[in-house]
Structure 1
Amino acid sequence: MRQSSGMRWSNWSGSAVSTPERIVYPSSIEEISRLVHESNDQGKKVRIVGSGHSFTAIVPTDSILISLDEMQGIKHMNHYHSIAHVWAGTKLKLLGESLHALGYAQENLGDVNFQSIAGAVSTGTHGTGVKFGSVATQVVGITAVTADGSIVECDANHNSELFKAMQVSLGSLGIIAEVKLRVVPAWKMDFESRKVNFHDCMQQLDSLCASNRHFEFYIFPYSDHVQIKLMNQTDAEPDKSSFWNNFNKIVVENGAFKVMSEVSRLLPKSSRSISRLSGKLAPVMKQVGHSHSMFATPRLVKFNEMEYNIPAQHMQAALEEVRACIDKKQYAVHFPLECRYVKADDIWLSPAYGRDSAYIAAHMYKGMPHEQYFADLEQIFLKYDGRPHWGKLHTLKQKQLAERYPQWEAFHTFRKELDPKGTLLNKYLEGLFIG
C-alpha cells in the first residue's frame, strides 16, 4: 500500500488540521481490512478521509489516517436495476462523468462536486428539491470494514437496521469501501438565476418549491436582494460554451468576490456595503446542460460554514429572525445565506429524519472571525428544532444531539457493538457520541 508519514493534513478551509503518524492509501477492501487488523494489534486508532471538505474536526488524528483516493470509479453497472456499484473514494465529479458515459446520472446533487461519494453520504450531504432526499437516500447497499477488520454488507433487505444506521454514520460504524447507488437515466437541466426582493421571495416560497424540480435561494446580509436558482429537467439541447455564463461563474462569482472578500477581511466595516454590492451583482442568466455538470458551481473563495436543518414550514420565520439578528448585531459578514429544501427520510442520523426539511447555511470568509456570528444564528436554529449538518461547524455534544434524533440510542447501540474500543473515533467524535 502507498503511504506517507509525518505529513501535515488539513481540510479544505483550514479549520481542521493534524499530523497523522501515517496516511495510508489502500486499493482494495482486503487491504483496508488488513490495515485495520494491524492497527488493532498495535493498539492504534484509525480515521478515514474522503476529500476533506467537512468543516468540522471529523478527520484529524495523530494515529493512522486512511485515504480512499486509490479506490475510485464504477466497479460494476447493473443496467437491469439501474444500480451502480461504486468504489467509496470516487469523487463526485468523476462519478458524474462516469455515469454519464454509461447513460445515467444521479437524481440530485449538492453544489460542490469534489467530495468523495462515501464522504458525501456519511455526512448527510444534500442538494435541494422538495421531492428529493439527501445523497444518502440514493444508496441501496453498503460494503464496509468494521473496527475489528471484518467485512460487512448491508442493504434494505439484509442487515436492514445496520444499513439505516450506516447510511449517515460519520465513519463511526465502519470504513465504507463500496456503495450501491440507485441512478436514473441521464437527463438535461434547464438552469435559471433570477433576482427578487426578500418579501417577494418569502411570499412565493411554496409556489417556487412546488413548480420547480430544484429550487434554492441566497439572502445577502444588509440587503433586500435575493438570488433564486431554479433547476428543471428539459429536452432542450445543451448550450454551447457561453462566454457570459462562464464570466459570471468564474470572474464575478469567484474572482471579483475574492477581491471583495479580501477587502472585507482587511476593512471589516466595509462588509455591509460589499454584501449589498454582491446582491446587486448576483447574476441573471439561463443555461442548459447535462445535469452532472450543472449542479456544481466553482468554489474558489475559501470560507467556513455552519448549516442547520429545521422543519420546512419554519423557513420564513427563521430567516426573518436571522435577518433581524444580523441587522441588530452588525456582524462583519458579506457572504450570503444559502437556503435549500430536502425531503424527509428514514435514515437514523440524517438531519432530515422524519421531517420535510429546510436547510439554512451561514458562511464566513476564511480569516474573518465567525464564532459569535455562528453562535448567535445557531441559537435561532435550535429554537426551531434545528439539527446540524454533520459536515458543518456547530457546538452540539452528545446529550443535545440525543434529544434531537429519535433513533440516537439505537445508533449508539450499534456503535458500541461494532467498535467497543473506540478504534474509529477521534477526540471530536468522542464528544459527539460519548460526551
Structure 2
Amino acid sequence: MAGTGTGTWRNWAGNQRAAGLTVVAPAGTEAVAAEVRAAAAAGRRVTALGSGHSFSGIGRPEDVALDLRRHAALLDVDDAGLVTVQAGMTLHRLDAELAARGWALTNLGDVDRQTVAGALSTGTHGTGARFGGLATQVRALELVTADGTVLRCSAAEHPGVLSAARVGLGALGVISTVTLQAVPAFALRAEEGAARLPDLLASFDEVMTSTDHVEFYWFPHTDRCLTKRNTRVPLAEVAPLSRARALWDDEVLANAGFGAVVALGRRVPALVPPLARFSAGALGARTYTDAAHRVFVARRRVRFREMEYAVPREAAPQVLTELHRAVEAGPWRVPFPVEVRVAAADDVPLSTASGRDTAYVAVHVPARSEPGGYFAAFEAIAGAVGGRPHWGKEHGLDAVALAGRYPRSGEFTALRSRLDPAGVFANAHLARVLGPVGAGVGQA
C-alpha cells in the first residue's frame, strides 16, 4: 500500500483482524509526524503497523493505520558499530545489511520477520544467560509523540523516555528511527541433540549456562526434548550444513513434515501423543557453524498461536514440572513443542526481564485452534511464581494484575499520560493491559 486508502488488517496467525481502516504510508520522520498531527487534530487514533507477528491485540489498528514499509531505510552504520535505521525495516533485512558491512546484532530471537520498531515495542528477546533482549541493544531513538513532536532520545537527551520506549508497547508514540549497538560479525557453533526432560530439569541452571546461547524444546505427551547449544566463535570457523542437509532438516522435516503431523493431529486428536513421540525422534543430532544470524533464526512456515511467560530463572524447573503434570492429567492434545529459553536481567521498565534473571517458557497451538484450557492452565502455573506474559503473545491479564508484576509500571503509565494525554495511540488491548490513559497503577 502507498499513499492513503481504506484497508483491512490481520496478523500472521490470523487470530487478530481489523477492517474499515484509514491506511497511510508515510516515508520520512516529518511525514510520519504530519500524519500523527492530522489524526490527533481530527480526534482519531493511530497505530503503527509492524509485521503482524504479535499474537495479542497489541498492534491491532482501530482507526488510522501507519504502514511503515516506505519508512524502512538503513540510515547509517558508523565505525563504532552504531547502526541507525528507520522503524519499518525488518530484522532480516537489517541482519543482511549488517553482515555485508562486517557487523551483527549481538543476540536475536528465533524469528526475524518483525520490523525493528515492532520487535522492540513488544519486548522481543532471544536466549542466553548473559544476554538481554533486543531492547538492551538500543542506544537512541526518535519518537513521534501525540502532538507530532519528534523527541530525539538518547543518554544525553530525554533519557527517561529512551529507557521506557525501548519496550513501549506502541503506547508512548510512533518510533521513527532506532540506533542499535552492533558488534563485529561472529559465527555460532550449533550443537543440537536429544535429551530427557527430567535430566534437563534436574540440572537446569547448569544446562542453560553451559555455553553462550542455550534453548530446548520439550514435546508434550513425552519426556523427550531437543536441545540447542550455540557457542560464539570467529567467522573464520564457519562450516555450514550442506545444502541438501539443511533443506532436509529445515524445510522437509521441520516445516513440511511437521505441518503434516499437525494437520493429522487436528483431524485425529488421539494420534497426537504417538505423533509427538515420532516428531521428537525425527530430528537427529547435528553440529555445524554458520554466521550468527543464520543460526539464531529458524524458519516458521507452520502457523500457530502462542503464549509465553517470563518467570524467575530459578522457578523454571517447577513451572515445567507442573506443566508436564497438567498435560498428562488434562484432556488436551498438544502437537507443538514447548520452547524454553533464558535471558539476563535488564533495567527496562516494562521488559519481561526487568530486574531479574529470567527463563522464558512458550506454549503453542495450531493457528486455527482455540487454546482453551491448555493456555489457561499454563497461565495459572506461571502466574503462581510471578510470571510476566510476553507483550506480543496471548495472555489473559489486565492492568491490575500486570501492575503487581512490574515494580516500575507506575513510572511507565505516568510517562504515557504525559506524552499521550488524549490516548491518540490507545487501542482496546492497551486499555486492558495499561488501563485508560491517565489512570494510576491498578486503576484499570
TM-score (norm 2): 0.95
| Structure 1 partner of 2:271 | 270
Deviations 1:229-256 (A, max 9, x none): 0111223133263312321110001101
Is 1:412 matched with 2:376?
no
SS at match of 2:176: strand
Report the equivalent of 1:338.
Answer: 339
- Once residues 380 and 89 of structure 1 are traced to their aligned partners in structure 2, the CA distance between those partners, rounded to angstroms, is 36
Mean Cα deviation higher: 298-307 or 15-24 = 15-24
Identity over the aligned pairs, expressed in percent?
34
CA deviation string 1:19-56 (max 9, x = no partner): 14222111100001100111112111101111010001
AA aligned opposite 1:341: V
**1:425 alignment partner AA:** A
What's the secondary structure of 1:94's corresponding residue? helix
Q: 2:186: which partner in 1?
A: 187
- 5+ residue gaps, structure 1, are none
- Alignment correspondent of 1:94: 93
Rounded to whole Å, the distance in 2 between the matches of 1:429 and 1:240 is 44
TM-aligned CA deviation for residue 368 of structure 1? 2.1
Tell me, in whole angstroms, the C-alpha distance in 2 between the residues paired with 1:329 and 1:133: 35
Equivalent residue, structure 1, for 2:242? 241
> Which segment is superposed worse, 202-211 or 83-92?
202-211
CA contact (8 A) 2:127 2:215 kept: yes
Structure 2 equivalent of residue 107 of structure 1? 106
1:400-421 CA distance string (max 9 Å, x none): 1111111111111110111111
Q: Cα deviation per residue 1:279-315 (whole Å; 9 max; x = unaligned)? A: 1213321121111222111100000000000000011
- State the distance in 2 between where 1:96 and 1:62 align: 31
Q: Matched residue of 1:211: which SS? A: coil
Cα distance in structure 1, aligned partners of 2:185 and 2:281 = 35
Give the equivalent residue in structure 1 for 2:358.
357
For the 8 Å contact 1:216–1:340, the answer to whether it is kept is yes
Q: Secondary structure at the match of 2:209?
A: helix
Residue 212 of structure 2 is matched in structure 1 by 213
- Residue 439 of structure 2 corresponds to none
Aligned-pair CA distance for 1:148: 1.0
CA contact (8 A) 2:58 2:430 kept: yes
The 2-side partners of 1:244 and 1:215 are apart by 22
Question: What is the aligned partner in structure 2 of residue 201 from structure 1?
Answer: 200
- Whichever residue aligns with residue 273 of structure 1, its letter is P
* Conserved 8 A contact 1:191-1:229: yes
Per the TM alignment, residue 191 of structure 1 is displaced from its structure 2 partner at its CA by: 1.0
CA distance in 2, matches of 1:123, 1:18: 19
Which residue type is aligned with residue 306 of structure 2? Answer: E
Counterpart AA for 1:245:
A
Counting matched residue pairs gives: 434
Contact kept, 8 Å, 2:62 with 2:427, in 1: the verdict is no
Q: Partners of 2:134 and 2:412 in 1: how far apart? A: 20
Distance 2:51 2:379 in 1: 26
Equivalent in the alignment of 1:310: 311
Residue 26 (structure 2) pairs with residue 34 (structure 1): no
**Retained in 1: the 8 A contact 2:72–2:87?**
yes
The answer on 1:21 being equivalent to 2:21 is: yes
Letter in 1 for 2:265: S
Opposite residue 327 of structure 2, the aligned amino acid is I
SS at match of 2:7: coil
Quote the Cα distance in structure 2 between the aligned partners of 1:283 and 1:255: 16
Per the alignment, residue 11 of structure 2 pairs with: 11
CA contact (8 A) 2:49 2:61 kept: no
Distance 2:328 2:202 in 1: 21
CA distance in 2, matches of 1:231, 1:73: 31
Kept in 1, the 8 Å contact 2:241–2:288? The answer is: no
Residues 47, 62 of structure 2: 8 Å contact kept:
no
- Which residue of the partner structure matches residue 398 of structure 1? 399
Question: Residue 56 of structure 2 aligns to which amino acid in structure 1?
Answer: T
Structure 2 equivalent of residue 136 of structure 1 = 135
Deviations 1:41-79 (A, max 9, x none): 211110111101000111223310012111223201121
- 8 Å contact from structure 1 (residues 20, 61) kept in 2: no
TM-score normalised according to structure 1 size: 0.97
1:146-185 pair list within 5 angstroms = 146-185=145-184
What's the CA shift for 1:5? 3.0
Assess if the C-alpha contact under 8 Å between 1:73 and 1:98 holds in 2: no
CA contact (8 A) 2:340 2:359 kept: yes
- Determine the C-alpha separation between the residues in 2 that align with 1:207 and 1:4: 54
In the TM superposition, 1:273-284 aligns within 5 A as 273-284=274-285
Q: Can you give the 5+ residue segments of structure 2 that lack an aligned partner in the other structure?
A: 436-443
Could you tell me which residue of structure 1 aligns to residue 432 of structure 2?
A: 431
Distance between the aligned counterparts of 2:241 and 2:325, measured in 1? 43
Per mean C-alpha deviation after superposition, the further-off stretch among 198-207 and 161-170 is 198-207
What SS is found at the alignment partner of 1:280?
helix
What CA RMSD, in Å, does the superposition of the two structures yield over aligned residues?
1.3
The answer for the alignment partner of 1:74 in structure 2 is 74
Contact 1:188 1:238 in 2 (8 A): no
Distance 1:51 1:210 in 2: 32
SS at match of 1:130: coil
Q: 2: distance between equivalents of 1:218 and 1:419? A: 41
SS in 2 for 1:19: strand
Q: Is this contact kept in 2: 1:132–1:343, CA < 8 A?
A: yes
Q: Does the 8 A contact of 2:50 with 2:59 survive in 1? A: no
Given that residues 3 and 22 in structure 1 are in contact (C-alpha distance below 8 angstroms), is that contact kept between their aligned partners in structure 2?
no
Shift of 1:366: 1.5
Structure 1: distance between partners of 2:242 and 2:76: 32
For residues 375-430 of structure 1, give each alpha carbon's deviation from its aligned partner in whole angstroms, at most 9, with x where no partner exists.
Answer: 11100000011000000000011111111111111111110111111110111111
Find the aligned partners of 2:187 and 2:340 in 1 and give their Cα distance. 23
Q: Deviations over 1:324-369 (max 9, x none)?
A: 0010113121100000001000000001000000000000011222
- Measured at CA, do residues 240 and 311 of structure 1 come closer, stay the same or move farther in structure 2, by a change above 3 Å? closer
Kindly indicate whether residue 138 of structure 2 is the aligned counterpart of residue 145 of structure 1: no
Deviates more, 1:231-240 or 1:48-57: 231-240
Q: Distance in 2 between matches of 1:228 and 1:73?
A: 36
Cα distance in 2, alignment partners of residues 353 and 283 from structure 1: 36
For 2:347, what is the secondary structure of its paired residue? coil
